[in-house]
Chain A
Amino acid sequence: MPVDDRPGDGDGNEATTGTPLISGTNVVKEYQTGGQTIRALKRIDFRIDEADSVAIVGPSGSGKSTLLNLLGLLDVPTSGEIRLRKQDVATLSDSERNRERKQTIGFVFQSYYLIPTLTALENVEMPRMLDRTPKKTRDRATELLERVGLSDRLDHAPDELSGGQKQRVAIARSLINDPELVLADEPTGNLDRDTGDQILDLFEELRAEEGVAVVMVTHDEYVAEAADRVVNLVDGTLRAPDTATRADGGHRDRE
C-alpha cells in the first residue's frame, strides 16, 4: 500500500512548496434551516497539492460532504476564502465555476449516479458529450474503461453492472476530462473489501502516474490508511487524527 515517500510531507512543513491546487483559509459554511443556523464548518484551513492523496474521515454530520462540495466548487463558503490555484473562487461566475468543474475536477459519488439511459461507455463520455468531438471522446472513454478493467462491458446499461463495476464506470467518468483533482464521497462505501481494494489501487495508480490529486471521504479506517494524509473532521473542525503518524490534518489544527 502507499508509501509515504513524498519529500516535505512531514509534520506541518510541506506548505512551503509551490502553489497549492486548492486551498482554504478560515472557511466557514453555515446552513439556514427554519430560522436556525447550522455551522457545518467552523473556520477551517486546508490545502491540497498536485498528486495529493487525502482521506477525510469523521463521524456522521461532521461536515465531510460539506467540505467536499466546497472543494468541488459546487458550493461557496459563507465566509473565508477558497482559492483554486491562485484564483479566489468567490470571484468566479456560475458559468466559470461550471467550466472549472468540468476541466479541473472529477466527481465520484457514493451512489455512482450513472445515467440509466446511457451505456457504460456513454456514461463515461457524458461530461464531454457536448464538446462535439465524438471520435476523440469515444477513444478516450474506451481507453479509460479498459483501464478500469471494463473493456468487455462497454455497451452494458448501468443496471446490467455490479456495484463495483458501476463505481469503476463512475471513476472512468470522473477522469474523462483529465482532471487535476478527483473528489470521491465514500467511493467504496457500497463495495466489499476486494472490490474496494481495486478502487483504491486505481486511485493510487492515477495519483502516481498522472499526478491527479485524490480526495476521498470515508468512514472506513482501512480505506483511510491507504491515503497519504488523513484529515479528521469532528463537528466542523479539524482534529489531529488518532492514528497520528502520517496525516497532518490539513497542516494546522485549529483551537
Chain B
Amino acid sequence: MSRLYRLTGRFPVVVIAWRNVSRAKARSALAAAAIVIGVVAIGAIGAGGAAFKQSQFQSIQEQGATDVFVAPGIDKEPGHFDREDVKAIEETVGSAGVVATRGGEAEWVRRGDRRESVSITYMDDPRSLYTINDGAIPENWRRSIVVSNEFAQEHGLGPESRLTLALDEDTGATYRVVAVLAATQGFGSSDVYLPIEQAPAREYDQVRVRTRSVDRAESTADALRERFNDREDRLLVFELTSLVRLLKTIVNGINVFLTGLGSISLLVAGVSITNTMLMAVIKRREEIGVLRATGYGKADIVRILLVEAVILGVIGVVVGLAIAFVVASVANAIFLGDPLAFTSDSLLYLLGAAAFGILTSLIAGAYPAWRAANERPVDALRG
C-alpha cells in the first residue's frame, strides 16, 4: 500500500470530492474561472487602489502634511511676526520644531544688464526644511546664497557660481552660491535662500511648525488656534491634515466602490457555482442515493458536496490571487516605483479577496448540498 494511499485514506471526503470535481473538468473549470474573475477584480482593484493611495500620501507627506503653516492673521498688528511672536508660537507647540521664514523678491542682475525676478526665502538655516544636494552651508552663514534645485538646473548654477541680486532698485550685491538643495515637491519653496540677517528687517511672514505625524500636525494646529485666535484672528493657521483626510475619504470611497463592483463579480461566481453544483447533484442523484443507502449520513453528503464547492473555490482563489498579485505588482511599480512595495492595505485586499472567494464558494455550495442530502435514498434510487 502506497504512502499516498495512506495519506488520502485519511481524507476520504476530499478524495471523493476531488474525483467529482475532476470528472466534469470543463464545468468545474468554468465555475472556478468565475471565482478567478471575482478574486482578480477585488484583489487587483483593491491592491492597485491601495498602491495609488499610498503614492498620493507619499507625495502629500513630501509636501509637508506633517507641517503646520502659520501666517499673521487679519487681526495681527503689525502684519508680520517678530522674535517675540515666534517665541510665543514655539512655547505653544512644545517639542515640535519651529522654522520662521520671510519671503521676498529681488532682481537678478545678469550679464548685459538683463534683469530677472527671483523669489527669496530668508531663514536661519535651509537645512531645517530641505536637504542639501551639492555643496555645504558654512558654519557662519552670513553672505553666501543657497539655490533651489530647479533654479540651479534651469540656469546652470552650482557651488561657486556667483549671482548679483538687486534687493532694492539699484544697489546690487554679489553672492557666492555655497549649496544647491535637493529637488523637492515641497510646498512653498522659492528660487533662492538667504540668511535671515540679509532681510531688510528682522521680521518673519511665515512660521512653519514641523511635527512628526499628520495627527500631531492637526493637534498642534488646534493648540495654536486656541491660544492665539480666541477672540481675534491673530494667526492664520493652515495644515494639510484636513486635506489629507478629505483625500483619504475620497480615495477610500472610490476604492470601496470599485471593490464593491468586484464583489458583484464574486456574487456572479457564487451563482455559477450554485448552478454547477445543482447540475452535478441532479446528475448524480442516484449515486448520492447509493451513498445514503450504504450508510452515509446526511452530514456526510453535505460535507462531500461542500468540499467539492470549496475545491472549486480554492482553485479559483489560487489562480485569481496569482493574477491579482501580478496586477498589483504592476500597480506598485507604476505608483510606488517598486513592484514588491505591497502596503499592508493591499495585502489586506488580496487576503480579503481570497477569503471572500472561498466563503462565496462555501455559501454557493450550501443549497445544492442541503438539497442532495435531504433527498430520500428511496426516491433517488427509484427507476
Please report A residues at the B interface, Cβ cutoff 8 Å. Answer: 65, 69, 72, 74-75, 94-95, 98-99, 101-103, 106-107, 109, 111, 113, 115-118, 126-127, 129-130, 132, 134-135, 137-138, 173, 177
Q: Does B297 contact A (CB under 8 A)?
A: yes
Are B294 and A65 interface neighbours, CB within 8 A? no
Are A127 and B19 interface neighbours, CB within 8 A? no
Cross-chain pairs A/B with CB under 8 angstroms, 25 sampled: A65-B382, A69-B378, A74-B381, A94-B298, A98-B295, A101-B293, A101-B294, A102-B294, A102-B295, A113-B289, A113-B381, A117-B16, A117-B23, A118-B19, A126-B291, A126-B294, A127-B294, A127-B295, A127-B296, A129-B12, A132-B10, A135-B1, A135-B9, A173-B294, A177-B295
> Who on chain B is nearest to A185 by CB?
B381
Greatest chain A CB density within 10 A among B292, B295, B300 is at B295
Are A109 and B381 interface neighbours, CB within 8 A? yes
| CB within 8 Å of A: which B352-383 residues | 376-378, 381-382
Contact with A along B288-331 (1 / 0, CB 8 A): 01111111111010000000000000000000000000000000
Are B290 and A109 interface neighbours, CB within 8 A? yes
> Who on chain B is nearest to A94 by CB?
B298
Main secondary structure of the interface of A (DSSP, over half): helix
Given contacts A102-B294, A109-B381, contact A130 B23 (CB under 8 A): no
Give Cα A115 to B298, complex, Å. 18
Give Cα A132 to B345, complex, Å. 43
Give Cα A99 to B293, complex, Å. 10
Cross-interface CB contact of B296 among A69, A107, A130, A132, cutoff 8 Å: A130
Cross-interface CB contact of B290 among A113, A130, A177, cutoff 8 Å: A113
Which of chain B's residues have a CB closer than 8 A to the CB of A103?
295
Give Cα A65 to B378, complex, Å. 10
Are A117 and B20 interface neighbours, CB within 8 A? yes
Give Cα A101 to B300, complex, Å. 15
Q: Does B287 contact A (CB under 8 A)?
A: yes
Which of chain B's residues have a CB closer than 8 A to the CB of A135?
1, 6, 9
Are A101 and B295 interface neighbours, CB within 8 A? yes
Are A134 and B6 interface neighbours, CB within 8 A? yes
| CB within 8 Å of A: which B236-288 residues | 286-287
Q: Does B29 contact A (CB under 8 A)?
A: no
> Who on chain B is nearest to A135 by CB?
B1
> Who on chain B is nearest to A70 by CB?
B378
> Who on chain B is nearest to A116 by CB?
B23
Given contacts A98-B297, A118-B19, A134-B10, contact A113 B286 (CB under 8 A): yes
> Who on chain B is nearest to A129 by CB?
B12
Give Cα A56 to B188, complex, Å. 100
Greatest chain A CB density within 10 A among B5, B286, B289, B296 is at B296
Give Cα A7 to B151, complex, Å. 119
Which of chain B's residues have a CB closer than 8 A to the CB of A102?
294-295
Are A132 and B9 interface neighbours, CB within 8 A? yes
Are B378 and A113 interface neighbours, CB within 8 A? no
Are B10 and A75 interface neighbours, CB within 8 A? no
Which of chain A's residues have a CB closer than 8 A to the CB of B293?
72, 74, 101, 107
Given contacts A102-B295, A134-B6, contact A115 B300 (CB under 8 A): no
Give Cα A95 to B295, complex, Å. 9
Given contacts A72-B293, A74-B293, A117-B23, contact A130 B13 (CB under 8 A): yes
Greatest chain B CB density within 10 A among A65, A103, A113 is at A113
Are A95 and B297 interface neighbours, CB within 8 A? yes
With A69-B378, A135-B1, A138-B9 known, 17 other A-B pairs at CB within 8 A are A65-B382, A72-B293, A75-B376, A94-B298, A98-B292, A102-B295, A107-B293, A113-B286, A116-B23, A117-B22, A118-B19, A127-B294, A130-B13, A130-B300, A132-B9, A132-B12, A134-B1
Give Cα A118 to B91, complex, Å. 82
Which of chain A's residues have a CB closer than 8 A to the CB of B8?
134
Which of chain B's residues have a CB closer than 8 A to the CB of A118?
16, 19
> Who on chain A is nearest to B6 by CB?
A134
> Who on chain A is nearest to B303 by CB?
A130
| CB within 8 Å of A: which B1-45 residues | 1, 5-6, 8-10, 12-13, 15-16, 19-20, 22-23
Which of chain A's residues have a CB closer than 8 A to the CB of B22?
117
Give Cα A23 to B297, complex, Å. 25
> Who on chain A is nearest to B297 by CB?
A98
Which of chain B's residues have a CB closer than 8 A to the CB of A111?
286
